[in-house]
Amino acid sequence: MTDATALTPATRARSLPKVKGRAVVMTLYLLFLMLPIYWLLNMSLKTNTEILGSFSLWPQNLTFENYVTILTDEAWYMGYVNSMIYVVMNTVISLAVALPAAYAFSRYNFLGDKHLFFWLLTNRMAPPAVFALPFFQLYSSIGLFDTHIAVALAHCLFNVPLAVWILEGFMRGVPKEIDETAYIDGYGFGRFFVKIFMPLIASGIGVAAFFCFMFSWVELLLSRTLTSVDAKPIAATMTRTVGAAGVDWGVLAAAGVLTIVPGALVIYFVRNYIAKGFALGRV
Amino acid sequence: MQQKTTNHKAWFLVLPVLVLVAFSAVIPLMTVVNYSVQDTFGNNQFFWAGLEWFQEMLSDERMWNALQRQLMFSGIILAIEIPLGIFVALNMPKSGFWSSFCLVVMSLPLLIPWNVVGTIWQIFGRVDIGLLGYTLDALGIDYNYTQDTISAWITIIVMDVWHWTSLVALLAFAGLKSIPDAYYQAARIDQANRWKVFRFIELPKMMGVLMIAILLRFMDSFMIYTEPFVVTGGGPGNATTLLSIDLVKMALGQFDLGPAAAFSLMYFLVILLISWVFYTVMVNLDKKGM
pLDDT of A201-224, one tens digit each? 998 999 999 999 989 998 888 898
| Residue A233 maps to a domain | yes
pLDDT digit string, tens, across residues A49-66 = 888 877 778 888 888 888
Chain A closest-CA separation from residue B148 CA (Å): 21
For residues B234 and B244, give the distance between their C-alpha atoms in angstroms, rounded to a whole number. Answer: 10
Position A3 confidence tier, pLDDT thresholds 50, 70, 90: very low
**C-alpha dist (Å) from residue B141 to B134, B135, B155, B200:** 10, 9, 14, 43
Q: What share of chain A has pLDDT > 70, as a percent?
A: 91
pLDDT at A7 exceeding the cut of 50: no
| Residue A49 maps to a domain | no
Calculated CA dihedral for residues A34, B96, A198, A114, nearest 10 degrees: 70
pLDDT digit string, tens, across residues B123-143 = 888 888 888 888 888 888 888
**C-alpha dist (Å) from residue B7 to A52, A184, B93:** 67, 18, 46
For residues A253 and B54, give the distance between their C-alpha atoms in angstroms, rounded to a whole number. Answer: 43
B156 touches chain A (CB under 8 A): no
Mean pLDDT rounded to a whole number for chain A: 85
For residues A274 and B110, give the distance between their C-alpha atoms in angstroms, rounded to a whole number. Answer: 10
ipTM given for this complex: 0.85
Q: Where are the domains of chain B?
A: 61-288
Chain B closest-CA separation from residue A33 CA (Å): 6
For residues B163 and B117, give the distance between their C-alpha atoms in angstroms, rounded to a whole number. Answer: 8
pLDDT at B201 exceeding the cut of 60: yes
| Residue A180 maps to a domain | yes
Among residues B120, B122, B107, which one has the least CA distance to residue B164?
Answer: B107
| Residue A10 maps to a domain | no
Q: What share of chain B has pLDDT > 70, as a percent?
A: 97
| Residue A22 maps to a domain | no
A8-12, A64-68, B181-185: range with lowest mean pLDDT: A8-12
| Residue A112 maps to a domain | yes
**C-alpha dist (Å) from residue B36 to A99, B54, B270, B276:** 36, 8, 17, 24
Query: Which of B4, B7, B8, B24 would best serve as a mutation to test chain A binding (most A beta carbons within 10 A)?
Result: B24
Position A6 confidence tier, pLDDT thresholds 50, 70, 90: very low
**What is residue B164's predicted lDDT score, i.e. its pLDDT?**
94
**What is residue B289's predicted lDDT score, i.e. its pLDDT?**
59
**What is residue B261's predicted lDDT score, i.e. its pLDDT?**
86
CATH number reported for the structural domain that contains residue A166 in this entry: 1.10.3720.10
Position A28 confidence tier, pLDDT thresholds 50, 70, 90: very high
Q: What share of chain B has pLDDT > 90, as a percent?
A: 22
Chain B closest-CA separation from residue A103 CA (Å): 8
What residues make up the domain containing A114? 74-278
Q: Is B54 helix (H, G, I), strand (E, B) or coil?
A: helix
| Residue A34 maps to a domain | no
Domain count, chain A: 1
For residues A133 and B244, give the distance between their C-alpha atoms in angstroms, rounded to a whole number. Answer: 12
**What is residue B2's predicted lDDT score, i.e. its pLDDT?**
58
CB-closest option in B90, B167, B267 to A130: B267
pLDDT digit string, tens, across residues B48-76 = 877 878 888 788 888 888 889 999 999 99
Q: Do A100 and B202 touch (CB under 8 A)?
A: no
CB-closest option in B174, B188, B268 to A130: B268
| Residue A39 maps to a domain | no
A49-58, A239-248, B107-116, B275-284: range with lowest mean pLDDT: A239-248
Among residues B112, B115, B4, B97, which one has the least CA distance to residue A110?
Answer: B4
CATH superfamily of B61-288: MetI-like (1.10.3720.10)
Q: Do A275 and B100 touch (CB under 8 A)?
A: no
Residues B77 and B161 sit within 8 Å (Cβ to Cβ): yes
Q: Do B119 and A40 touch (CB under 8 A)?
A: yes
